[in-house]
Structure 1
């Protein structure tokens, strides 16, 4: 499949990793920001997309504050693909405009920003209508450059963050994977993973920790309620609003409160039995020295050794080396693509927050394989997605190698905290009563039934199918 674009735009690379011999032999740069495995033993049956359609629902949120802004609703986009054989599949995506490119969010009303991202999803669908593909990885690589160029034009940002386009493509990519699976009689997630990407997703965790999220300033009793229920790793959304100095002081005070409260708790899932802290700054720290002051404060109060990871402390254009900070630094938004992930390893990043539900399953497979080959641990972060997308992420989290010092898979899941109609949304899950759907004692039980059913993602979704009934 070939697409033409007058303007293929991508962000510049900022560093070059020396890939291992095996990795160098296995990857080729096929499109802006996309490495492909040359040895990809997927069935090459050609699938023609006869019809496409899309729809969306607006789901209200309790205000979720980060990056100096707030989100009060999340659009749930459904993309429909129908093949020549008459198979119809629906892929879901939860939009995250503020997360993917805050500039677009701040320049428009919340609905306006969501409408722009939805337009990108619709454009992608119209591009592939009448086209054929052999596998979803190839489909993403073929359409991504033009989709990114279109997203750049309608947002009026030539340097649009690549995650904006990838976020818009999640629903399309998921529909393509489900169509590929049905066309080939696949009902198992492991069978759907191409051979070239299986090593990075070869673990079989029988438990996945469910990680709730708390912003700086959250009342401490909200955190202790979670730990009382068994949640044992806390995501702390640092990077409070205000000047850099105001932000730092608020973050230090919040960490002090959290650490004092967590001394009363222990967990069997960490090597030292202590509650680990997972910081996410969403790029709010402008200078490395400011982060060092926060880490110095953590040392002063005795919290430093409980910091499991600090995610995305700096803006993606900050190329500071982070391998000398004494803690594990993870990349999330800045690792838009596998090429960007390689750059981050060069800068000293030693973990990746991967998001099949925000950057597409196809791109996530590439990133997890690169990370595996460089011994860089990964964990799954949320985008405040719907319950069915939680299962797509869980399929990744249950297959990632263990995170250092922790005996379970790791997956942030905050939808139950922020969606006002979460219980109703849970009823849309194709297997809502399955034993892996709800966390128990802070963990999802991803045992044999979970792997057998792929978390339920291959099952019919009557509610979302109803969005396309005439």
Structure 2
């Protein structure tokens, strides 16, 4: 462990030095965290306490995957877990976690660098954000997201040499920082449950308290038919299926049609009491790989041919974001995910005909997710929580949101949460053991569901508890 820690420290210092070299050529207007939104200046009718940040730090751990994970035509072999530390003038501190996914957040960065190189670039952005926050005064985390994002985004375009960098690349880098800000805010203001953490203007968006949350497993390119059947036998009934495989558009379509046939052949006769037709709902995720409506409609026509069409509940991100294709005439529910970077982007996607939004507080920050969810709710667009193959602690952050969203159409009195870490991490059980409440009743899936209770809602599922494994990384020597 000491050797591993030393290597991590060495790389961290090297990255920090590289960031410093970039900064010597790069400057931005002074960052300001003092412009406070009047709507979020008070929580629960009480003034927020001013919090001065005097110390920041970070670490990361590399976690290998059981098998290469395929999507967007590429494959991941590991995911970096970032850890951000904040300390206030009063002596309070907080630790926030994040999971980096370069392929999901910007496939161009992923394809033009080694896997470690892309992760290193994202980690530099986390470091940059922490540098910015040092000696700043915090009133509420949600007021920081715009100025912090804006400055880090300009810096990110510079260090990646990519003026068209996707916003999700930066938001992904800010998750551990944002979580640390929320936890420090909670500690300084005596907040001990998640409902208290939600600003008043967002509470109607997160007003439910679901006792059951349907768990969505991920069926990536290399999951075998036998493994898919096993998931169904274990009670999972809402499947997320990756399409948009590698190759030309013709090759992709042929592979996707073959994959759909394999999956439907296995699942077509499985029954569930949770849908009106008793069949398993299919949730496809194309990650923007279909370049035209014509090609996508051929996929849907094939689904009709093999009698799988009626089980398609939604298709996520079929088209490249930059093409800005109006999808109002597509006959299935299309879902925005990575293209809904911000609340403004979400509104634009809804105007283009998207009829659902996949929320990712574990990939786009809790602060931005609150705004995205409200923008969707104000327009009667349903939301649910999607995964980024995050660590067990972040699953609980996601679960807190999923438990409070209105039910997805067709699923009465149920939350909806994608969670696939248990399928993909080599060290999932070890990672889970770090979490103090790892044996709580709401942690593991039972018969396809997470079951919440009063204790879960009272303590936020345990996200406010200190975690010794991460605390030890920042112990003062």
What TM-score do the two structures reach when normalised by structure 2?
0.90
Q: Is the 8 A contact 2:70 2:222 kept in 1?
A: no
1:14 paired residue number: none
Q: Aligned partners of 2:404, 2:327: CA distance in 1, in Å?
A: 27
2:89 paired residue number: 84
1:398 aligns with 2:403: yes
2:459 paired residue number: 453
1:53 paired residue number: 57
The alpha-carbon deviation at position 39 of structure 1 amounts to 2.9
Counting only pairs closer than 5 Å after superposition, residues 89-238 of structure 1 correspond to structure 2 as 89-216=94-221, 218-238=223-243
Q: Aligned partners of 1:361, 1:109: CA distance in 2, in Å?
A: 29
1:425 paired residue number: 431
Aligned equivalent of 2:276, options 247, 271, 275: 271
Query: Could you list the per-position Cα deviations for residues 5-29 of structure 1 after superposition, in whole angstroms to 9, with x for gaps in the alignment?
Result: 9569xxxxxxxxxxxxxxxxxxxxx
**Any idea what SS the aligned residue of 1:82 has?**
strand
Counting only pairs closer than 5 Å after superposition, residues 296-307 of structure 1 correspond to structure 2 as 296-307=301-312
**Any idea what SS the aligned residue of 2:323 has?**
coil
Query: Could you list the per-position Cα deviations for residues 33-62 of structure 1 after superposition, in whole angstroms to 9, with x for gaps in the alignment?
Result: xxx976334333211101101011111112
1:314 paired residue number: 319
Q: Aligned partners of 1:236, 1:340: CA distance in 2, in Å?
A: 25
1:362 aligns with 2:371: no
**Any idea what SS the aligned residue of 1:236 has?**
strand
Q: Is the 8 A contact 1:216 1:239 kept in 2?
A: no
Q: Is the 8 A contact 2:106 2:166 kept in 1?
A: yes
Query: In the superposition, relative to structure 1, how do residues 194 and 220 fare at CA in structure 2: closer, same or farther (>3 Å)?
Result: same
Aligned equivalent of 2:256, options 251, 257, 261: 251
**Any idea what SS the aligned residue of 2:68 has?**
strand
**Any idea what SS the aligned residue of 1:420 has?**
coil
Q: Is the 8 A contact 1:87 1:182 kept in 2?
A: yes
What TM-score do the two structures reach when normalised by structure 1?
0.91
Q: Is the 8 A contact 1:37 1:196 kept in 2?
A: no
Aligned equivalent of 1:260, options 242, 251, 265: 265
2:357 paired residue number: 352
2:346 paired residue number: 341
Q: Aligned partners of 1:435, 1:387: CA distance in 2, in Å?
A: 14
List runs of 5+ in structure 2 lacking aligned partners.
1-25
The alpha-carbon deviation at position 219 of structure 1 amounts to 1.7
Q: Aligned partners of 2:436, 2:342: CA distance in 1, in Å?
A: 31
Q: Is the 8 A contact 2:53 2:89 kept in 1?
A: yes
Q: Aligned partners of 1:216, 1:68: CA distance in 2, in Å?
A: 9
List runs of 5+ in structure 1 lacking aligned partners.
9-29
Query: Could you list the per-position Cα deviations for residues 423-470 of structure 1 after superposition, in whole angstroms to 9, with x for gaps in the alignment?
Result: 111101120000000000010002222111211100111111111123
1:468 paired residue number: 474
Aligned equivalent of 2:294, options 283, 289, 297: 289
Q: Is the 8 A contact 1:217 1:254 kept in 2?
A: no
The alpha-carbon deviation at position 264 of structure 1 amounts to 2.4
Q: Aligned partners of 2:276, 2:89: CA distance in 1, in Å?
A: 53
Query: Could you list the per-position Cα deviations for residues 155-211 of structure 1 after superposition, in whole angstroms to 9, with x for gaps in the alignment?
Result: 001111000110000000000000000011111000100001111111111111111
Query: In the superposition, relative to structure 1, how do residues 38 and 254 fare at CA in structure 2: closer, same or farther (>3 Å)?
Result: farther
1:72 paired residue number: 77
1:13 paired residue number: none
Q: Aligned partners of 2:111, 2:148: CA distance in 1, in Å?
A: 27
Q: Aligned partners of 2:50, 2:147: CA distance in 1, in Å?
A: 15
Tell me which of the two structures has the higher relative contact order, counting C-alpha pairs closer than 8 angstroms and 6 or more residues apart.
Answer: 1
**Any idea what SS the aligned residue of 2:205 has?**
helix
Q: Aligned partners of 1:110, 1:162: CA distance in 2, in Å?
A: 19
Q: Is the 8 A contact 1:323 1:349 kept in 2?
A: yes
2:379 paired residue number: 374
Question: 311-320 or 226-235, which moves further after superposition?
Answer: 311-320
Q: Is the 8 A contact 1:95 1:168 kept in 2?
A: yes
**Any idea what SS the aligned residue of 1:159 has?**
coil
**Any idea what SS the aligned residue of 1:39 has?**
helix
Q: Is the 8 A contact 2:102 2:119 kept in 1?
A: yes
Q: Aligned partners of 1:280, 1:225: CA distance in 2, in Å?
A: 21
Q: Aligned partners of 1:39, 1:79: CA distance in 2, in Å?
A: 27
